[in-house]
Amino acid sequence: MSLTYPDPSLLKELAGEYGTPLMVYDEDAIRQTMRAYTENFRSDIFETAVLYASKAFLCTAIAGIAMEEGLHFDAVSGGEIYCLAKAGASAERIHFHGNNKTPGEIEDFFRLGHGHIIVDNEDELKLVRSIANSLKQPMDILIRLNPGVEAHTHEYIATATKDSKFGISIDKTDAIISMVNIIEACPYLTFAGFHSHIGSQILESEAFAMEIRVMFEFIGMMHDRHGIDVRDLDLGGGFAIRYTHEDNPPSTESVCRRIISLCEEEVTRRNLPLKRLMIEPGRSIVGDSGYTLYTAGCRKSTDSREYVFIDGGMADNIRPALYEAEYTCRNITRNDEAPDRTYTLAGKCCESGDILIKEARLPETFPGDLLLVHATGAYGYSMASNYNRLGRPPVVFINGSSHRLVLRRETYEDMMNLDVE
């Protein structure tokens, strides 16, 4: 299966109107993926919910689309919650994550309304309890567990290893029961259930099957031995996408149906009162529906490399430098020419590690050519920075031959707005 790209003539038009670097999202593809999740992640014996993982890419436009398609949200900071609220999301649609939420963030979320907080540790739970008692506001609580299932992914995006900073080890039964008791003793807090997450860009669906088996064994034990019922179970995300031709992730339909089938079997076999099952796809919704358009600049040859420099780099996509992420690129200007050259695609930041693609197969490329990098829709813009005082790129949503600007280019003046002298 080949990677897909927007129409080259449209991309040239966008580059002319908005300049480069430019992030382009296919709105129709995003909606189709959201519907693939909501239509296939369904059960006859419990409710289901698809939570858009805001950290993948968030602005009011994408939040609005997610609400129109019936999704809820997970958010990991006050800033993400503020953006969701600006887009019109109610607190009940938001699940507040994070391993070190600040008192101000927690207070603001309580004031937004009755939502869901996923507590990461006992210290955080005590802080949440104190704020709930002070504000006299209700909140549903899920406890994040570390199931110890090690997905085969980069160590920086694996989240369920034994020494992970996230969640409480599932082996610490007494500590987990103590946290449930703290929640139930507070008149404003409701114990809703558990949350787990095993990593990102998981290409093998067996990892999810293992997570489900471990979590339901624990939930069954809590139900049978301790009389603790779990209403909600959030299995997190981690669903992979195709960055390169070598990637072969399972389809959204197959992953959703397998998760639902396995959970239905566990609930029925163990006679558990589970009311709702949740997942958190973010990357897989926007990742390969997003692209970054660059303009080629100077070239340079060394003894072993041919460099093509681009007008962006690690400031708008830090993933290759951060955890060796791989991408595929196409020369839009010479779209009909054979990709018979191998270039190192390097950014303009003052770092030797600012390499976007080590071996990009392209036709002979010249300064001024438009280069399109595939599958930058997740964790590109959301992890972008002003390193070297580079402004964040604009974001355009396309729908067929039409397009609309949803985030304008960050200017020098924007970057100076925080200076007080």
The CB density around residue 28, as the number of other CB atoms within 10 Å, is: 13
**What is the C-alpha separation between 322 and 262, in angstroms, rounded?**
35
**What is the C-alpha separation between 203 and 88, in angstroms, rounded?**
34
Q: Using CB atoms within 10 Å of the CB of residue 381, give its burial: 0 to 12 exposed, 13 to 18 middle, 19+ buried.
A: buried
H or E element at residue 267: helix 252-270
* Structure tokens, 281: 């796809």
Q: Does residue 186 have an active-site annotation?
A: no
* Structure tokens, 144: 């994040």
The CB density around residue 162, as the number of other CB atoms within 10 Å, is: 9
Cis amide prior to 21 (ω within 30 degrees): yes
| Beta strands at 47-53 and 22-26: parallel, antiparallel or unpaired | unpaired
The CB density around residue 371, as the number of other CB atoms within 10 Å, is: 28
* Structure tokens, 88: 């019109």
Compute and round to an integer the Cα radius of gyration of the chain: 23
Residue 365 amino acid letter = T
Give 338's Cβ-side CA count (13 Å radius).
Answer: 1
Residue in 83, 263, 349, 350 annotated catalytic: 350
* DSSP state letters, 201-253: SB--THHHHHHHHHHHHHHHHHHHHH----SEEE----B---SSTT--PPPHH
Q: Which residues are catalytic?
A: 350
